Structure 1
Amino acid sequence: MANKVYYLSTCSTCQRIMGDLPLEGFVKQDIKTEPITEAQLQEMKTLAGSYEALFSRVAMKYKAWGLKEKNLSETDYKNYILEEYTFLKRPVFIVDNQIFIGNSKKNVAALTEQILK
C-alpha cells in the first residue's frame, strides 16, 4: 500500500505539517476537491480501530449541527465523516501501514520519526 496523506489544502496547519516533511512518493488527497470514499474511510478505520478516532469534535459543524448533545454511534461517526469532509480529523497520514491522525505535537513527532527512519 502506498504512503498517503488526506488533508485540506485550505488548512494552514495541514500545509505547515506537510511542508515540514519529505513527502516524495506520497499520494496526496485534498479531501475537499476529492472526497474520501467509503472504502478509504474503512481502511482508515481498520488502522485506527474506530471511526470515532477519525472524527473531529472541533469541526465548526459539530456544534452547529447539535451533535454535541447527541450520543453518536460508530455508524454515526462514519456517516458524518462521509457526508461532511470537515468531520475528518486532519491531516491523516498512512505510512507503512500505520496511521497518524490529527495535528497534536505528539502525533506529528511520531509521524516525523516514522517518515524519516
Structure 2
Amino acid sequence: MRKIYHLSSCSTCKRIIKELNPDAGFILQDIKTEKITEEQLNLMAGLSGSYESLFSRRAIKYKELNLKEKNLSEEEYKNYILNEYTFLKRPVIIIGKKIFVGNSKKVVESAEKELQKK
C-alpha cells in the first residue's frame, strides 16, 4: 500500500507532499472530505503501535476540550480521531508495511529515504 492521509488546506501537508513528489501509484486521501474509516485507523494503529501515536495534541479542539487534563485510553484516542479529523497527526504516509506519522523533519526524511528505495 502506498497512501498519504493529509489535509488539503494544510500548508505543511502541501509542502511535504510536494517534497516527497509521490508517484501515480500513491493514493492521496484528504481526511476532511473523505473521512477516515475505523478499518483505516486500525491499520494505521497496527503499523504505528498505538492510537496515541497517531493523535495530535496540537489540535485546537485538544485545548478546547481540556484533554490535557485527562488520562486518555487507547479507545478514547481512537474515538476522538474517528469523530474529529483534526485529531489525526498529519500527514500519515504509508509505504508498504512502514508508516510515517507527522511532519517533523526526521519523519519526513525517513519517508523520503523509504521512497527512494522503491
Q: Indicate whether the TM-score tops 0.5.
A: yes
Could you say which residue in structure 1 is the equivalent of 2:5? 6
Q: Structure 2, unaligned stretches of length 5 or more?
A: none
How many angstroms apart in 2 are the aligned matches of 1:56 and 1:22?
Answer: 24
Q: TM-score normalised to the size of structure 1?
A: 0.97
Extract structure 1 runs of 4+ deviating beyond 2 A: none
Instruction: Note the C-alpha offset of 1:97.
Output: 1.0
Q: Which residue of structure 2 lines up, in the alignment, with residue 49 of structure 1? A: 49
CA RMSD between the two structures = 0.6
Gaps in structure 1 of 5+ consecutive residues: none
2:107, 2:79 → 1: CA distance?
A: 25
The one-letter amino acid paired with 2:78 is K
Displacement of 1:96? 1.6
Query: Equivalent residue for 1:84?
Result: 84
Deviation of residue 92 (structure 1)? Answer: 0.1
Bigger shift: 28-37 or 16-25? 16-25
For residue 20 of structure 2, give the secondary structure of its aligned residue in structure 1.
Answer: coil
Q: Deviations over 1:12-70 (max 9, x none)?
A: 00000000112111010000000000000000000000000000001010000111111
Distance in 2 between residues matched to 1:22 and 1:105, nearest whole Å: 16
Matched, 1:103 2:103: yes
Aligned match of 1:39: 39
What's the secondary structure of 2:103's corresponding residue? coil
Distance in 1 separating the partners of 2:20 and 2:81: 26
SS of alignment partner, residue 110 of structure 1:
helix
Deviation at 1:3, TM superposition (A): 0.3
